[in-house]
A and B are shown apart, each in its own frame.
Chain A
Amino acid sequence: MSWETIIGLEIHVQLATATKAFCGCANRYGDEPNTNVCPVCLGLPGALPVANRKAVELGLRLALALGCTIHERSIWARKNYFYPDLPKGYQISQFDRPLATGGVLPVRLKDGTLKNVGITRLHLEEDAGKSFHGEGDDGASYIDLNRCGVPLAEIVSEPDLRSPEEAWAYMKALRRLVVQLGVCDGNLEEGNLRCDANLSVRKIGETGFRTRREIKNLNSFKFLRQALEYERDHQIAVYEGGGTIEQATLLFDSARGETFVMRSKEEAHDYRYFPEPDLPPLLVVDACVAHTRGALPELPWQMHARFVEQYGLSDYDAGVLTDNAALAAYFEQVAALGDAKQAANWVTGDLAALLKERALEIEQCPIAPASLAEMIKLIEQGTISGKIAKDVLTAMANGEGSPALIVAQKGLRQISDEGALAVLIDETLAESPEQLAQFRAGKDKLFGYFVGQVMKKTQGQANPQEVNRLLREKLNG
């Protein structure tokens, strides 16, 4: 493969405010169309915007988490274009003086390495309404302006991503971050995060960039990767066929799995940006920046590093656990009460499988962290075996009580008593004279058979380590 892929993403993050960016209407998904509207977000003649302080605070928090430089004075600007779901004929955004520039998002790649993806800028703007074209029986276009004026933070990455896989990981990491920060709900199905991707390719070794094409509205992780893979292959094929790539804006047809041209360079909009005269410059004073920075929670990559350091976890386990804030919190509550590695194994292993089977989120986990910790303690103390513990876990999930109670009621206590086990071993050997003869004749594999028979006699309650030890003594002795 002599080609290299260059990708940069622009991600629009809907900020989780109670009200819209420039008016008092509810910022809420799923309501009856055109009910969360007022003269301001409808763009009625004479209405004026007033900036939502909360939206600025959330944007600031996100910018600080990304390590951006915050500009004390940023300027609102109008981006002018005509479209029916843009009632004013312009979008209030920021242009040459954004809220923040120059940051980094650390992204854990599939191979476990950490890649620092550069952030070019973060600016605040308002969302447009939503158009529905020809979806009804009448073939008409319908517009819902509930979304119009919802606050967005647009985060533009540097062209640092080198594969669709990396782009996917970047978007995942960004979603993880915005959810951790509480600045966005992170539901892609509801359009909380929307991505435009710029992609170009070049021969390995080339230093400059070739022409890029922008794919708009990649609103699922799957489509992001599919669209970028298609576009990468398309551009390489064009170059290898001796052709050239023209700058263009594309859309992705998810049904066909292809990108197609929405508008060419000639048709590109001139947005006629200019400073928004209805809003004074946005001032973010140092004290506000310091306060917000001080109030930042532990960031996902910081938590990852701490899990490795503090709990001695592998990068992989730390990655799985910190991928979800609630899961990480659950793990930490279990780990606080016992062995962290065991806690990690159970949380990422059997507990995760159990939740998946029952289609539950970690927030809905029927087993309290303290109960899981208690169960792990029973294993450590030799009260139950790891194998029996799986049954105990299921019983706990079924609401049958605490691990100790379940063990007592079901008689699951592990048999470690040497005398009792010796009797069982003697019985087993007496019942299997043929196997014993073969073993003595050199068929070593049959050792496992005797262990299994002893475990069977106790319905798995015999302490397997003890059984192994005693049996070995017996047969070798």
Chain B
Amino acid sequence: MSPSRDWSIEETAAHLRAGDVTAVSLAEEALARIAADDEQLGAWLHVDREHALTQAQAADDRLRAGDNITELTGVPLAIKDNFNVVGLPATAGSKILGDYVAPYESTATARLRRAGAVLVGKTNLDEFAMGSSGEYSGFRPTKNPWNLAYTPGGSSSGSAVAVAARHVPGALGTDTGGSIRLPASHCGVVGVKPSYGRVSRYGIFAFASSLDQVGPFARTVRDGALLLQHLAGHDERDATTVPLAVPNYLAACERGLDGLRIGMPREYFGPGIQPQVEEAVRRAIQVMKQNGAEVLDVSLPHTPYCVAAYYLIAPAECSSNLARYDGVRYGVRAAGDDLGAMYTATRRHGFGPEVTRRILLGAFALSAGYYDAYYLKALKARTLIRNDFLKVFNEVDVIAAPVAPEPAIRLGERLDDPLAMYLSDILTIGVNLAGICGLSTPCALSSEGLPIGLQLLGPAFGEEKMFAAAAGYEAMAGNEWPWPEVAR
């Protein structure tokens, strides 16, 4: 096995510049690793060898010519299948898209391509990014490389697994209620959910437009910061991106922990959190404290309303966003005697159970006579939740908390209990409701040998503080554990 699989993005970039390896050879190696173990992992939906090698060749030309080289030039990356990448299939993990091929490019992937990254293929996900375990893919479940009997977390299951299994050093995901941080935590990689408006959503399949955000996966905090550096910034095609300058995130990673004020929200610890998870996170916070950080008790009193508010707002937006999948213009069309019957048959057969459940929930919450009691009330709760964070960020620089109440669950363990599944998002969705930034970085292995993540949150457009804390922790913790070897 080539050593390249263990390289971070920064290391890969250094080797490419030194000429030790070529982008084509790295792409070939990534393709070989995917071919070797993805049948077991189910991380990828579409791998296009031709497409990957063409990009790699172009990257090698750039490297050779010394033409506009970036840290991503020649680096192989994975893209969640809810991004449009021109010429590649785009299904969002749903059967309703059929053999749909993206006719245009998302802004996020366009920026990575411009930097010279090699997009190896599209990764598996819970259908339309709705799910917390990776099991609701319309095609096949994704499995956790640390233990194939376990789920990897969702919805960006494939991207997290592709990085954890060292197919590629970095990947893109989307996070609507924890869909980057949760699988990052369960797979032992870094996952970053930027502030709402920091990265363009243009070209990603919308789930809940006011909550969706694009973000990177990587195996180091610095790599996560590097990827975000390339992704972030105003996009005239997304009216919700902000025209703020993008700070230097790699420089922020070097700030250290000294004087950093870290808040521990009491609602994110205690009952409901598995003791070994809480202990792991407390130990991580202790490491930061020992290295100069100041730790404060804080409160986010409206936390108990997060799940209820989220599971009204997100399904409401989803019920509208997914109306376009009607069998008229693209994707699969089922037969029906008239227009209404065709719509019904197409959507009944095309959508899986979780997507159907959320569309029904959302349509109900928005319907006449119920709007005020459900949707409007949820919006009010959202304001209170946002205000909680605003207040706390007056006192602290970052918030530290667990990502999930427990490590990864077993495959099939919760498929029949959607409510229990929704509760696994309890520690991540507040971030989306508030529009702030957050990341997950590994902090321990559980007694079963499964990763546990530390969640670090920053204020809206305060990614620098979040990266300073995470990189500071990563450097001081010195966590060393063997990467999983996928059983063959």
- With an 8 Å Cβ cutoff, the count of chain B residues facing the other chain is 43
Q: Are A274 and B366 in contact (CB under 8 A)?
A: yes
Contact pattern, B 221-256, Cβ under 8 Å of A = 1, otherwise 0: 000000000000000111110000000000000000
Chain A at the B interface: mostly helix, strand, loop or mixed?
loop
Q: Are B236 and A42 in contact (CB under 8 A)?
A: no
Is A444 in the interface zone, CB < 8 Å from B? no
Q: Nearest residue in A to B323 (C-beta to C-beta)?
A: A89
Stretch at the interface among B199-207, B296-304, B390-398: B199-207
Q: Nearest residue in A to B369 (C-beta to C-beta)?
A: A270
Kindly provide the distance from the CB of B99 to the nearest chain A CB, expressed in whole angstroms.
Answer: 14
Stretch at the interface among A78-86, A178-186, A236-244, A329-337: A78-86
Q: Are B84 and A49 in contact (CB under 8 A)?
A: no
Is B367 in the interface zone, CB < 8 Å from A? yes
Is A294 in the interface zone, CB < 8 Å from B? no
Q: Are A272 and B317 in contact (CB under 8 A)?
A: no
Chain B at the A interface: mostly helix, strand, loop or mixed?
loop
Cα–Cα distance between A84 and B92 once the two chains are bound (Å)? 22
Contact pattern, A 33-77, Cβ under 8 Å of B = 1, otherwise 0: 000000100111111111100000000000000000000000000
Q: Are A87 and B324 in contact (CB under 8 A)?
A: yes
Stretch at the interface among A111-119, A277-285, A300-308, A429-437: A277-285
Cα–Cα distance between A90 and B209 once the two chains are bound (Å)? 14
Contact pattern, A 305-343, Cβ under 8 Å of B = 1, otherwise 0: 000000000000000000000000000000000000000
Contact of B368 among A49, A51, A89, A270 (CB under 8 A): A270
Contacts of B329 in A (CB 8 A): 42-43, 87
Kindly provide the distance from the CB of A94 to the nearest chain B CB, expressed in whole angstroms.
Answer: 15
Is B104 in the interface zone, CB < 8 Å from A? yes
Contacts of A280 in B (CB 8 A): 239-240
List A240-292 residues whose CB lies under 8 Å from chain B. Answer: 270, 272-274, 277-280
Cα–Cα distance between A46 and B330 once the two chains are bound (Å)? 14
How large, as a class, is the contact surface on chain A?
20 to 34
Contacts of A46 in B (CB 8 A): 82-84, 106, 201-206
Contacts of B97 in A (CB 8 A): 45
Cα–Cα distance between A87 and B324 once the two chains are bound (Å)? 6
Kindly provide the distance from the CB of B472 to the nearest chain A CB, expressed in whole angstroms.
Answer: 35
Is B375 in the interface zone, CB < 8 Å from A? yes
Contacts of B237 in A (CB 8 A): 48, 50
Contacts of B324 in A (CB 8 A): 43, 45, 87-89
Cα–Cα distance between A43 and B321 once the two chains are bound (Å)? 10
List A117-169 residues whose CB lies under 8 Å from chain B. Answer: 143
Given contacts A48-B239, A90-B320, A280-B240, contact A84 B328 (CB under 8 A): yes
Kindly provide the distance from the CB of B244 to the nearest chain A CB, expressed in whole angstroms.
Answer: 14
Contacts of B208 in A (CB 8 A): 277
Cα–Cα distance between A154 and B209 once the two chains are bound (Å)? 26
Contacts of B82 in A (CB 8 A): 46
Is B339 in the interface zone, CB < 8 Å from A? yes
Cα–Cα distance between A88 and B83 once the two chains are bound (Å)? 18
Contacts of A279 in B (CB 8 A): 239-240
Chain A residues in the interface with B (C-beta under 8 A): 39, 42-51, 78, 80, 82, 84, 87-90, 143, 270, 272-274, 277-280
Across the A-B interface, the 5 shortest Cβ-Cβ residue pairs = A89-B323, A277-B209, A277-B210, A272-B366, A46-B203
Extra 10 A-B pairs, beta carbons < 8 Å, given A44-B330, A87-B324, A274-B317: A44-B84, A44-B103, A44-B104, A46-B83, A46-B202, A46-B206, A272-B319, A272-B320, A273-B366, A279-B239
Chain B residues in the interface with A (C-beta under 8 A): 82-84, 90, 92, 97, 100, 103-104, 106, 201-206, 208-210, 236-240, 316-317, 319-320, 322-324, 326, 328-330, 339, 343, 363, 366-368, 371, 375
A-B contact pairs, 25 of them (CB 8 A): A44-B103, A45-B92, A45-B324, A46-B84, A46-B106, A46-B205, A48-B202, A48-B237, A48-B240, A50-B236, A50-B238, A82-B326, A84-B328, A84-B339, A87-B324, A89-B323, A90-B323, A272-B363, A273-B366, A274-B316, A274-B320, A274-B371, A277-B317, A279-B240, A280-B239
